[in-house]
């Protein structure tokens, strides 16, 4: 039985080595497809795979159809908007993610981005400090909570909104709970976004919310570019010359934003939130262990398409 690791954006070498060891120790075959440039390479590689480990690689209905032996696909990471869960279910393929395994790396990047923007992208212009400022965290899951604890340690006032948590749970996890999204945006010098990309959230952050932020505010997006209404963002930045936007993965209109707003916007050239050796090892090895547990013992913990 073959376990294929297919990562357009490769894992650190130590993570690949660790995955291979877990797979081979379980008596399974290990295969690797890295840095591929077209979906057709993935489609060809899955032909005889029993299990598949991916990152943000798109596992479409076409990929599933090309993998008749596939029993399980694990997204080594948190967000699973790249998996066609319906196609997986129809084909009897178990889909999983590895929640929490790469959260610290993303949280550290969110903090770094706040400082980077507050210090004028490390230009000599006079900047500002994050200590004493209010941070609003949109979704208080694994990443959001880590951002909150790090921000609190840096002297920020931390508030959070999460539709799946009560006010008491948010407080117990270390943040002040806010009533609604309007309050989150209008009362936060920084908002850090940690919502998944779903039909409900895509395009949900636009002009009105962004314009409601206080003077000099920074919007930090290490989640998914799709949750931003890009036209609305552009209009907000035009209307409010004091606002800034920083994100991990450029919006489609990034060239234009950069041209218009210069140092007020910044996007990483390639999604790098989880791109640390530690995160790769944590998520990659967890994915391999989950596959072995499923194939050997039928363990369906972390299954997404139940």
225: contact with ligand 3PG by CB under 6 A: no
SS3 70: coil
145: contact with ligand 3PG by CB under 6 A: no
Contact by Cβ (8 Å): 140, 150: no
287: contact with ligand 3PG by CB under 6 A: no
Residue 275: CB minimum distance to ligand 3PG, A = 6
Q: Closest CB to ligand 3PG among 56 and 212?
A: 56
Tokens of 227: 């949750």
Helix 277-297 to helix 13-25 angle (10° resolution) is: 10
Contact by Cβ (8 Å): 22, 292: yes
217: contact with ligand 3PG by CB under 6 A: no
Q: Which residues of 156-171 are buried (b: 16+ CB within 10 A; e: fewer)?
A: bbbbbbbeebeeeebe
- Residues near ligand 3PG (CB under 6 A), total: 11
Residue 238: CB minimum distance to ligand 3PG, A = 29
Name beta bridge partners: 83. 59
213: contact with ligand 3PG by CB under 6 A: no
Residue 205: CB minimum distance to ligand 3PG, A = 17
Q: Give the Å distances, CA to CA, from 99 to 75, 102, 284, 301.
A: 9, 8, 12, 11
Angle at 192 between CA 269 and CA 116, to 5 degrees: 50
Using CB under 6 A as the binding rule, the residues of this chain from 40 to 99 that contact ligand 3PG are 55-56, 77-79
289: contact with ligand 3PG by CB under 6 A: no
228: contact with ligand 3PG by CB under 6 A: no
> Which of 102, 104, 138, 142 is close enough to bind ligand 3PG by CB under 6 A?
102
Q: Closest CB to ligand 3PG among 138 and 212?
A: 138
Q: Closest CB to ligand 3PG among 102 and 138?
A: 102
141: contact with ligand 3PG by CB under 6 A: no
Residue whose beta carbon is closest to ligand 3PG: 77
> Which of 148, 232, 273, 284 is close enough to bind ligand 3PG by CB under 6 A?
273
3-state secondary structure 48-65: HEEEEEECCCCECHHHHH
Give all strands (DSSP E) within the chain, no chain letters: 2-7, 29-34, 49-54, 72-75, 94-97, 134-138, 157-161, 176-177, 190-193, 218-221, 244-247, 265-267
284: contact with ligand 3PG by CB under 6 A: no
233: contact with ligand 3PG by CB under 6 A: no
Which of 26, 2, 37, 30 minimizes the C-alpha distance to 15? Answer: 30
Q: Closest CB to ligand 3PG among 84 and 189?
A: 84
> Which of 145, 207, 264, 271 is close enough to bind ligand 3PG by CB under 6 A?
271
Region label for 225, one of left (φ > 0), alpha (ψ between -120 and 50) or beta (otherwise) = alpha
Region label for 249, one of left (φ > 0), alpha (ψ between -120 and 50) or beta (otherwise) = left
290: contact with ligand 3PG by CB under 6 A: no
274: contact with ligand 3PG by CB under 6 A: yes
Tokens of 45: 């590689």
Q: Closest CB to ligand 3PG among 1 and 32?
A: 32
Residue numbers of the site for ligand 3PG (CB under 6 A)?
9, 55-56, 77-79, 102, 271, 273-275
């Amino acid at each position: 039985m073959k376990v294929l690791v297919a990562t357009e954006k490769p894992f650190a070498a130590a993570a690949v080595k660790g995955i291979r060891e877990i797979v081979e120790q379980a008596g399974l075959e290990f295969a690797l497809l890295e840095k591929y440039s077209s979906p057709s390479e993935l489609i060809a590689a899955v032909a005889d795979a029993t299990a598949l480990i991916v990152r943000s690689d798109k596992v479409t209905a076409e990929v599933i159809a090309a993998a008749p032996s596939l029993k399980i696909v694990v997204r080594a990471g948190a967000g699973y908007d790249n998996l066609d869960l319906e196609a997986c279910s129809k084909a009897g393929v178990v889909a999983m993610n590895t929640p929490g395994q790469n959260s610290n790396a993303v949280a550290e990047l969110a903090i770094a981005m706040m400082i980077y923007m507050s210090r004028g992208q490390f230009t000599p212009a006079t900047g500002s400090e994050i200590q004493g400022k209010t941070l609003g965290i949109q979704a208080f899951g694994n990443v959001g909570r880590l951002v909150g604890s790090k921000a609190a340690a840096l002297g920020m006032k931390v508030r959070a909104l999460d539709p799946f948590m009560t006010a008491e749970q948010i407080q117990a996890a270390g943040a002040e709970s806010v009533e609604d999204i309007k309050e989150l945006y209008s009362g936060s010098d920084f908002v850090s976004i940690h919502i998944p990309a779903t039909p409900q959230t895509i395009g949900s952050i636009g002009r009105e919310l962004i314009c409601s932020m206080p003077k000099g505010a920074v919007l930090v997006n290490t989640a998914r570019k799709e949750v931003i209404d890009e036209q609305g963002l552009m209009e907000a930045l035009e209307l409010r010359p004091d606002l800034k936007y920083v994100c991990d993965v450029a919006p489609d209109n990034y060239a234009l934003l950069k041209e218009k707003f210069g140092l007020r916007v910044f996007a990483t050239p390639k999604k790098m939130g989880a791109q640390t050796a530690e995160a790769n090892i944590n998520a990659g090895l967890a994915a391999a262990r989950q596959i072995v547990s499923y194939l050997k013992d039928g363990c369906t913990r972390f299954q997404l398409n139940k």
